[in-house]
Chains A and B, each alone.
Chain A
Amino acid sequence: MALLEVRSLSKSFRGLRAVARVSFEVPEGGLVALIGPNGAGKTTIFNIAAGVYAADAGEIVLAGRRIDGLRPDQVCAAGVGRTFQVVKPFAGLSVLDNVIVGALRAEHRVPAARRKALEILDKLSLGAKRDLPAASLTLPDRKRLEVARALATGPRLLLLDEVMAGLRPTECDQMVEVFRALNRDGLTILLIEHVMRAVMALAQKVIVLHHGEIIAQGAPAEVVRDPAVLECYLGEETEV
């Protein structure tokens, strides 16, 4: 059964078509990647799903309930956790306090939220840095913190926006392991990713966007051989 259904979604910014009649599904327990060149409309779809923008047309349904048009905090309460492409740590707070803020969504008492936050920090190997101010973290750690905070809200669906960008291959592989483990435990994940190493290792299904439209979808190995995909990434093959 589909946990997330995107139905014929469209969105334009001042006449610029960012997303055009996009439909796809993310199955319960699935791990789906959304790829495509810069400006393909990936983050726009995320932002509509997360309640930042309203859609011009179409709908987004989570477990049978429409979530497009809800406020970001309501989308979160409905069970969608998200990370930001440009990370947004609470810079003045400690790493632990950052995650406690997320954990307080489901667990209103601070001590219990704190316990949950510590568990999640360990899962993302941030436990040793829990007392540092978030502002002092390196980019890879900030990306991890972003994920930890979103996880702490107790989502059914996790939206990851380019969390691998800027990571070294070994760090990337670590993250892949984290998401695999989370997915195994039942978390549904939809990720936007440019790092194909991660996409190929993680995704059960890949959806390719180009100019706001889906040009291919399927298993990772098939999609990367698709001529339309190769063309949009590498340009058309021409005889010289």
Chain B
Amino acid sequence: MRARLLLGALGAGLIALPQFSGSYILSLATLALYFAFTGQAWNVMMGFAGQLSLGHSLFVGLGAYAAAALFVKFGIGPWAGLWVAMALCVAAGTAIGLLAFRFGISGVYFALLTIAFAEFTRIGFDHIGWLGGPGGLFLKVGQRTSWNLADLRGTPAMFYYVMLALTAGAFALCAWLLKSRAGYYWQAIREDEDAARALGINTFRWKLMAVAISAAMTSLAGVFFAFYYNNLFPEQIFHISQSIEIILGPIVGGVGTLFGPILGAVLLTTLADSLTNLVAAMGLDIPGVKQVFYGVILLLVIMFLPNGIWPPIAKRLGLGRKD
């Protein structure tokens, strides 16, 4: 009940946000939601099923390039393109999962495999001339005053609402998954895979399912990225720093929780941006100040709140262990 009230208040505030905020706040909020969404998607794999991916930029990139290419080259809109993007990412995720889980690759080695796939895809896309190679793929940019939802062309407020809807959808999906048979099985696998097997769980199949769902969700973030930023470079979108930035939110907020990824993403995005502005306002030019800030936050959280900052807050608010 209490959780519902809080959720309702939060939702109302987020829906009303564009009414009383400028374009800067709106872009910051959109970015925070973007990381909340991708963090949520990553959390399905790592937080629920215990499979560490350090290569989620692969799914962002594939999703983005698939939808952008269909739009730019064939005029196929994003709502049709996202199915292709999703299918492609599910296929890629399943391939990685099949390879890893079939041969018993787990833990750190699995994480390395995900990095490897993201990296060679990045290098691969550098050589696809049809998609612009290292020079990038561009969508037409323009100052827009009206909403064209069908083609995802519109005002910043439209993109904000699209991202808000995606994040809310991801939250609802994850809340449902966590309470379903899949959620129980994933958590069992995360806690002790041998014990999970002994209880009749086909761990191979359920882990594969976690990867597929996580990849499908992340591909949507890629589609959004393409239409929001209008430019795609392999060096940027497939880069490991993308993957790292995706996982910072859930780690800071609380891996395996429902609110953790959202809280972590919002905190990190707003704080990092405030800091960058502050440094700029002081007339200083410190390259990499954001990265250093992330490093310090990560260090502090791991030292003092290894389960993330959400669990203690949830406790204080009188909410259950599972949000």
Contact = CB atoms under 8 A, between A and B. Distances in A.
Contacts of B70: none
A50 B185 CA distance: 19
Contacts of A113: 181
A195 B254 CA distance: 43
- Among B180, B191, B199, the most chain A Cβ lie within 10 Å of the Cβ of B199
A73 B187 contact: no
Given A104-B184, A108-B181, A93 B199 contact: no
Contacts of A150: 198-199
A100 B201 CA distance: 12
Contact of A97 (B184, B201, B202): B184
Given A100-B184, A104-B181, A93 B195 contact: no
Report the contact-size class of chain B (Cβ under 8 Å from the partner).
Answer: 20 to 34
Interface in A61-101: 71-73, 76-77, 82, 84, 88-94, 97, 100-101
A92 B307 CA distance: 11
B188 A90 contact: yes
A82 B187 CA distance: 20
Interface string B241-282: 000000000000000100000000000000000000000000
Contact of A110 (B179, B187, B198): B179
A102 B194 CA distance: 13
B203 interface: yes
B179 to A, nearest CB: 7
A97 to B, nearest CB: 7
B50 to A, nearest CB: 10
Contacts of B256: 92
A110 to B, nearest CB: 6
A73 B200 contact: yes
Nearest to B188: A101
Given A93-B187, A100-B184, A101-B188, A153 B200 contact: yes
Given A72-B194, A153-B200, 17 more contacts: A52-B194, A73-B198, A76-B197, A76-B199, A77-B200, A84-B198, A89-B192, A90-B188, A90-B195, A90-B196, A94-B321, A100-B184, A101-B199, A104-B184, A105-B200, A149-B199, A150-B199
Interface of B: 179-181, 184-185, 187-188, 190-192, 194-203, 256, 321
21 contacts: A50-B198, A73-B200, A73-B201, A76-B199, A76-B200, A84-B194, A88-B192, A89-B195, A91-B192, A92-B187, A93-B191, A94-B321, A97-B187, A101-B196, A101-B199, A105-B200, A108-B181, A110-B179, A110-B181, A133-B321, A153-B200
